[in-house]
Amino acid sequence: MPLLYVPIAILILYSFNDSQLVSVWSHFSTRWYGELFKNAQMREAAWLSFSIATISATASTVLGTAAAFALRSMRPSPGRSLFEGLLMVPLILPEVLTGLAMLLLFVFLGEAIGWPRTRGTATIAIAHITFGMAYAAVLIRARLSQQDPVLEEAAADLGATPWRIFWRVSLPLLAPALIAAWLLAFTLSLDDVVISSFVTGPGASTLPIVVLSSVRLGVSPQINALASLLVLFVAVLMIAATLVLRSSSRQKHG
């Protein structure tokens, strides 16, 4: 297992390399981090990526919650199994296929109803929501199925309408799963390059796309610095998600 982390360790190590050449160590320096922050294209791409990730994580969580509640209230039936299967498709479909399918959809829609006229931020966000929602739904459903329905019955017995029960009991109890789902969808959106590159358009380059295209022109040590920061950021998010889930389950059983 530790072997898997060796490449990442090397990458982080070389991000502190002063040399112009990525693979030749000269001496320690934070020079490339400085260069990175001065790079306007990188800053814009980062801003775009974070915006899209925020939008798609939020929408994914809302839609994933809706799907989880809808599925729970359905009786076991072929219709429900179909819906469950459809929800999982983005998880198993190769990204290239999802990307291509989304691109075709947007091109078709653009011609049929005139929207989207150009592809960019909106189309990337929509594409990210389609798979983010699937992950969010899986996570939230798992949590919801553990939740004792007697709590909702107790709320109804005490005079709460179904809508009030949802806001006062169901949702607060789901909070840890909602946070974890949001963080997961956010990370997935931030990481995605394949689907994004299909549905992106002129002027909308997310961070991973910029990285990929700049690598084609030769790896700049700036990329090492950027990659190190991303690794750090994603790690913090994932640890946060794990901690949120774990601490809440401890409270429940404690």
Partner 1 sequence: MDAHQDRSLTAPSPPGAQSASPLISLDRMSKRFAGTPAVDDVSLDIARGEFFCLVGASGSGKTTLLRLIAGLEQPDAGRILIDGEDITGRPAYRRPVNMMFQSYALFPHLSVERNVAFGLEEEHRPKAEIRERVRAALDLFDMAGLAARKPHQLSGGQRQRVALARALVKEPKILLLDEPLAALDKKLRERAQSELVALRARVGITFVMVTHDQEEAMRMASRIALMRDGKIVQIGSPSDLYDTPRSRFAADFFGAANLFEGRVTAISETEASVESTEAGATLRARSASSLTIGMPVAVMIRPEQVRVSRETQQADNALRGQIRGLVFLGSTVLCHVGLDGGKIIVVRLSPTEYASAGAPADGESVYLSWPASSARVLTE
Long-range contacts of 28-33, Cβ-Cβ distance < 8 Å, separation of 24 or more: 32/220, 32/221, 32/222, 32/224, 32/225, 33/225, 33/229
Q: How far is CA 191 from CA 128, 182, 207, in A?
A: 10, 14, 9
Q: How many residues does the chain have?
A: 254
Smallest gap from Cβ 157 to partner 1, in A, equals 5
Nearer to partner 1, 151 or 232 (CB): 151
Nearer to partner 1, 236 or 243 (CB): 243
Smallest gap from Cβ 171 to partner 1, in A, equals 10
Long-range contacts of 93-97, Cβ-Cβ distance < 8 Å, separation of 24 or more: 95/192, 95/194, 95/195, 96/194, 96/198
Q: Is 221 exposed, middle or buried (0-12, 13-18, 19+ CB in 10 A)?
A: buried
Nearer to partner 1, 11 or 160 (CB): 160
* Helix, strand, coil percent values for the chain (each to nearest 5): 80, 0, 20
Nearer to partner 1, 7 or 159 (CB): 159
And the tokens for 111? 């011609």
And the tokens for 31? 């020079």
Smallest gap from Cβ 160 to partner 1, in A, equals 5
Nearer to partner 1, 218 or 254 (CB): 254
Smallest gap from Cβ 162 to partner 1, in A, equals 8
Smallest gap from Cβ 173 to partner 1, in A, equals 6
And the tokens for 41? 């294209």
Smallest gap from Cβ 64 to partner 1, in A, equals 21
Nearer to partner 1, 114 or 254 (CB): 254
Q: Where do contacts with partner 1 occur on this chain (CB under 8 A)?
A: 148, 150-151, 153-161, 164, 168-169, 172-173, 175, 251-252, 254
**Separate counts of helices (H) and strands (E) for the chain:** 12, 0
